[in-house]
Amino acid sequence: MPDEKITAAVKEAIKSAKPRKFTETVEMAINLKEIDMSIPKNRIKEDIILPHGRGKPVKVALVCGKEMAEKAKGAADLIVLPEELETYAEDKKKTKQLANSYDFFIAEAPLMPTIGKVLGKALGPRGKMPKPLPPGSDPKGIIENLRKTVSLNSKDKLVIHAPVGRTDMPPENITENVEAILKRLQSRLERGSYNIKSAYVKTTMGPSVRIV
């Protein structure tokens, strides 16, 4: 059963937000404590599959050879073949547009060095470098999971932000997404829940409501 306290906070966050002409995202902010983020190994960088997804389309791009491209038809939002990478190498604007248009990138492992040279400057700073796949593998399952995935990235800060759904989702589903993030984060932190100072939920433009 979803945690009643978190569900109540989610409902309050949605109710207290002013009506908008668009469907707002429900976001989560987690404040950490007593962690030295100047030490790289302490920084949080985790991909988490949400039980109920993000409530909105997540776009996935695949860089691969023809064999994998055939398997990915109808699954990936964009397929880039090796020979097409050159067009991005020659056009920085096109490369930047690519990086901004897709949420996740995956690639056939042998292509990773070339991708690093061609797309690295655009994808790296955005935390979107492709996840490598074994040559010839079927990417459909990975793409399906990525559509329900959020990335936690603290960098050198003691705060983490993550989308956990949208205001048109059942609050209980959002709660289960929140719980999935907290559970993973607690397992990742050296002192578990003790390292979590506080956590809040809010809509994109609404007030924050504390859950921890």
Convert the pLDDT of each residue in 59-107 to its tens digit.
999 999 999 999 999 999 999 999 999 889 889 899 999 999 999 999 9
Cα distance between the two ends of the chain: 18
Which of 146, 165, 182 lies at the terminal end of a domain, its last residue?
146
Over residues 156-196, the pLDDT tens digits come to: 999 999 999 999 999 999 999 999 999 999 999 999 999 99
Which of 146, 169, 186 lies at the terminal end of a domain, its last residue?
146
- CA-nearest of 111, 197, 114 to 159 is 197
State pTM to two decimals: 0.88
Note down the domain range covering 125: 60-146
Supply the CATH number for residue 21's domain: 3.30.190.20
Strand order across the 159-166 sheet: 159-166, 25-32, 196-203, 209-210
User: In total, how many domains does the chain have?
Assistant: 2
Residue whose entry in the numeric block shows the structure tokens 């991909």: 47
Mean pLDDT for all residues in the chain:
95
% of the chain with per-residue pLDDT over 70: 100
Supply the CATH number for residue 120's domain: 3.40.50.790
Residues 143/75, Cβ–Cβ less than 8 Å: yes
- Domain identity same for 86 and 115: yes
